[in-house]
């Protein structure tokens, strides 16, 4: 990880704060196996969505959190290797560019006071326009409730795509988790064993979606489809 810091103007100091928080978690929370992923939970389902920046994972994690899911994080999946559970880290969700309007619209459909949940927009940041969104109250209330992971979904946003759930192999899911981990190489053997266990206990797939509504439907569909097999794991 590079420790070079880019100076930013004071008017986007909030973005510096977020980058500093990310750096602090990535460099100091070494007791956890960390995934660059959106993580949510609901009724015994611990869902990890590993993805690169710009894939829409923040939007999807935030969107799910306003449809009954507990937001663990839109950015950092923190896995406690001792308890074998995901540890919530529901800080403000970092929304970028087009996803800002998408989330305003999404939250406004369930809460009249939606404007209170969003900060002002910060323009001209290294990632374009950024806006922060407060996690849903239920996610804050449950911030000490851990969940065992048992579902891995690789999200792919494509505005022109037909919504689809695609099967992937467990080996592919394994490597996507390895590639998304910020400290797999530092932890070594125990990280290998932990990811092997997660994959062994999880159902895995890839979803391709053109918008947030379809993405949430696909996630719910996969949860429903795998409810029986997850119960047997």
Q: Which of 17, 140, 193, 233 binds other proteins (CB under 8 A)?
A: 193
Q: Which of 170, 214, 217, 221 binds other proteins (CB under 8 A)?
A: 170
Rg (CA), the chain: 17
Q: Is 221 exposed, middle or buried (0-12, 13-18, 19+ CB in 10 A)?
A: middle
Task: Determine, following the binding rule CB under 8 A, whether residue 232 of this chain makes contact with other proteins.
Answer: no
Reference 206, options 218, 220, 192; nearest CA is 218
Compute the least distance from the CB of residue 184 to other proteins, in Å.
8
Task: Determine, following the binding rule CB under 8 A, whether residue 189 of this chain makes contact with other proteins.
Answer: yes
Q: What would the DSSP string read from start to end of 195-221?
A: HHHHHHT-EEEEEEESSHHHHHHHHHH
Task: Determine, following the binding rule CB under 8 A, whether residue 29 of this chain makes contact with other proteins.
Answer: no
Q: Indicate the DSSP class of residue 43.
A: T
Q: Which of 7, 28, 162, 185 binds other proteins (CB under 8 A)?
A: 185
Complex with other proteins: residue 106 or 184, whichever CB lies closer: 184
Using the contact rule CB under 8 A, the part of the chain among 47-55, 57-65, 172-180, 218-226 near other proteins is: 172-180
Stretch (H or E) spanning 191:
helix 189-200
Using the contact rule CB under 8 A, the part of the chain among 58-66, 68-76, 77-85, 185-193 near other proteins is: 185-193
CA distance 54 to 32: 24
Complex with other proteins: residue 69 or 174, whichever CB lies closer: 174
Compute the least distance from the CB of residue 198 to other proteins, in Å.
11
Complex with other proteins: residue 20 or 188, whichever CB lies closer: 188
CA distance 143 to 159: 33
Sheet-wide strand order for 122-125: 93-96, 128-133, 122-125
Tell me the sheet residues that pair with 166: 206
Using the contact rule CB under 8 A, the part of the chain among 37-45, 74-82, 124-132, 196-204 near other proteins is: 196-204
Task: Determine, following the binding rule CB under 8 A, whether residue 171 of this chain makes contact with other proteins.
Answer: yes
Complex with other proteins: residue 113 or 189, whichever CB lies closer: 189
Q: Which of 102, 199, 205, 218 binds other proteins (CB under 8 A)?
A: 199
Q: Which of 54, 192, 227, 229 binds other proteins (CB under 8 A)?
A: 192
- Within 8 A by CB and 6+ apart from 162, the residues are 208, 210
Tokens 């911030």, residue located: 143
Q: Which residues bind other proteins (CB under 8 A)?
A: 169-171, 174-175, 178, 185, 188-189, 192-193, 196, 199-200
């Amino acid at each position: 990880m590079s420790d070079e810091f880019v100076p930013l103007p004071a008017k986007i100091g909030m973005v510096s704060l977020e980058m500093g928080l990310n750096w602090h978690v990535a460099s100091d929370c070494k007791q956890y196996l960390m995934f660059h992923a959106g993580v949510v939970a609901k009724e015994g389902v611990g869902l990890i969505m590993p993805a690169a920046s710009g894939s829409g994972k923040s939007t999807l994690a935030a969107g799910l959190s306003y449809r009954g899911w507990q937001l663990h994080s839109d950015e950092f999946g923190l896995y406690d290797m001792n308890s074998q559970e995901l540890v919530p880290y529901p800080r403000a969700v970092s929304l970028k560019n087009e996803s800002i309007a998408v989330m305003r619209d999404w939250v406004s459909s369930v809460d009249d006071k939606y404007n209170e949940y969003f900060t002002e927009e910060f323009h001209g940041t290294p990632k374009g326009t950024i806006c922060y969104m407060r996690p849903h109250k239920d996610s804050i209330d449950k911030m000490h409730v851990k969940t065992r992971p048992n579902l891995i979904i690789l999200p792919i946003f494509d505005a022109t795509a037909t919504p689809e759930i695609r099967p992937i192999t467990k080996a592919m899911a394994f490597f996507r988790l390895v590639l998304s981990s910020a400290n797999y190489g530092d932890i070594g053997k125990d990280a290998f064993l932990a990811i092997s266990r997660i994959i062994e206990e999880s159902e895995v797939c890839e979803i391709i979606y053109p918008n947030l509504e379809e993405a949430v439907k696909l996630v719910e569909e996969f949860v429903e489809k795998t409810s029986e097999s997850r119960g047997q794991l």
